[in-house]
């Protein structure tokens, strides 16, 4: 059934909506369908007559002229988290820390944290998998590494490159390819958007628009600097992370197990897990990072839900813990009377 014939089939309880017209799919099928559904609803009394399921895509939204305010529900579905893949019903350590009522509660959470020996290898394997291929549900069934790489490559090419190019309407596609690579290389680092635009031969406005579309498509998330502590001599630039490390690796074309960027991929995986937990639980608290003008930095900072306890996180890929790994954590914790510092390494305590 095509959109124009929707109003002619009001007696049916079920519809098969065909988004294909001729040889080409109708990319804006639901945009064309919306006004016909609205007309049908006006002629009939009652609510909840139609249920349309689909992804909230920017190209689709641009074609919908009918206002859907008060008549549409949006659900954010991010790639699978560690807890979902493990099918765990227990809240993660990170979630428990967010719920801490006091500093003593937060300390108790860390002191009582453990992973049963029989689950240890499974947790490590899942974390390694998330760091290599990400958490798209498709990979619950696609186990072959090459098959996964090909799927991520197709996803990257069709969803990111094709759709974003249409959104921005680039006259010079090569500049987008350079932007995409450089943006991915800067993941986890302070991003100077002016320098990024200049290196890609793009205006500042275009570079910002690219990043904004990445955020709206839930490809990337922004971590803003925390403006407080240590004399408030804090950096102003933001950091960015990919919601899915597999997509990040696909953009960079790097699936090497011993890649020089493995630390970057591990940090991206941990920060994306924190973002997922925050999204799944519906908590409004924002995840920041801390960095002074003199380079005193920790990778993540968040307040507990009641705002009473400061949680600082440093992320290191290595399993061995050295004093230098926590020297910056010590400085931030010492500057805050109600703070706790957590070092997240390959044992991933904050995610279990």
Tens-digit pLDDT profile for residues 253-289? 999 988 888 899 999 999 999 999 888 887 777 899 9
Res 73: pLDDT = 72
Is pLDDT above 80 for 12?
Answer: no
- Rounded distance between C-alpha atoms, residue 193 and residue 74, angstroms: 30
Element (H, E) at 311: strand 310-315
* Residue 113 or 135, more confident: 135
Res 318: pLDDT = 77
Say what percent of the chain tops pLDDT 90. Answer: 39
- Rounded distance between C-alpha atoms, residue 242 and residue 249, angstroms: 10
Quick one: pLDDT band at residue 295, thresholds 50, 70, 90?
Answer: confident
Tens-digit pLDDT profile for residues 202-221? 888 888 988 988 888 888 99
Q: What number is the average pLDDT over the span 302-312?
A: 92
Is pLDDT above 80 for 147?
Answer: yes
Is residue 2 within 8 Å of 21, Cβ to Cβ?
A: yes
- Helix, strand, or coil here: 24? strand
Helices (H), ranges, the chain: 29-43, 58-61, 82-85, 93-98, 103-111, 117-133, 145-155, 163-168, 173-185, 193-199, 204-216, 245-252, 262-281, 327-334
Is residue 350 within 8 Å of 92, Cβ to Cβ?
A: yes
Residue 220 pairs in a beta bridge with 242
State the chain's mean pLDDT as an integer: 80
Res 53: pLDDT = 63
């Amino acid at each position: 059934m095509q959109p124009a014939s929707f109003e002619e089939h009001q007696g049916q309880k079920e519809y098969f909506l065909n988004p294909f017209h001729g040889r080409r799919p109708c990319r804006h099928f639901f945009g064309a369908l919306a006004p016909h559904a609205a007309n049908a609803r006006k002629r009939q009394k009652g609510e909840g007559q139609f249920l349309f399921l689909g992804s909230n895509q920017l190209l689709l939204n641009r074609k919908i002229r009918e206002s859907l305010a008060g008549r549409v529900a949006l659900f954010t579905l991010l790639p699978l988290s560690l807890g979902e893949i493990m099918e765990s019903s227990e809240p993660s350590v990170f979630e428990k820390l967010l719920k801490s009522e006091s500093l003593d509660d937060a300390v108790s959470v860390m002191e009582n944290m453990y992973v049963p020996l029989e689950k240890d290898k499974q947790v490590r394997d899942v974390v390694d998998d998330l760091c290599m291929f990400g958490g798209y549900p498709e990979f619950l069934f696609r186990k072959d590494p090459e098959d996964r790489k090909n799927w991520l490559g197709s996803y990257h090419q069709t969803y990111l490159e094709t759709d974003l190019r249409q959104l921005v309407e680039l006259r010079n596609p090569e500049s987008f390819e350079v932007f995409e690579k450089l943006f991915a290389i800067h993941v986890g680092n302070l991003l100077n958007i002016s320098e990024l635009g200049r290196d890609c031969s793009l205006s500042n406005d275009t570079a910002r628009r690219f990043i904004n579309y990445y955020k709206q498509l839930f490809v990337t998330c922004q971590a803003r600097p925390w403006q407080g502590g240590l004399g408030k001599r804090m950096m102003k630039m933001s950091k960015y992370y990919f919601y899915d490390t597999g997509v990040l690796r696909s953009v960079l074309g790097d699936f090497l197990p011993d890649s020089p960027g493995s630390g970057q991929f591990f940090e991206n995986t941990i920060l994306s897990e924190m973002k997922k937990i925050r999204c799944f639980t519906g908590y409004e608290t924002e995840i920041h990072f801390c960095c002074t003008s003199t380079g005193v930095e920790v990778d993540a900072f968040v307040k507990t839900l009641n705002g009473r306890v400061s949680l600082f996180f440093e992320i290191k890929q290595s399993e061995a813990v050295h004093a230098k790994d926590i020297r910056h954590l010590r400085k931030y914790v010492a500057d805050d009377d109600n703070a706790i510092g957590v070092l997240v390494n390959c044992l991933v305590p904050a995610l279990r």
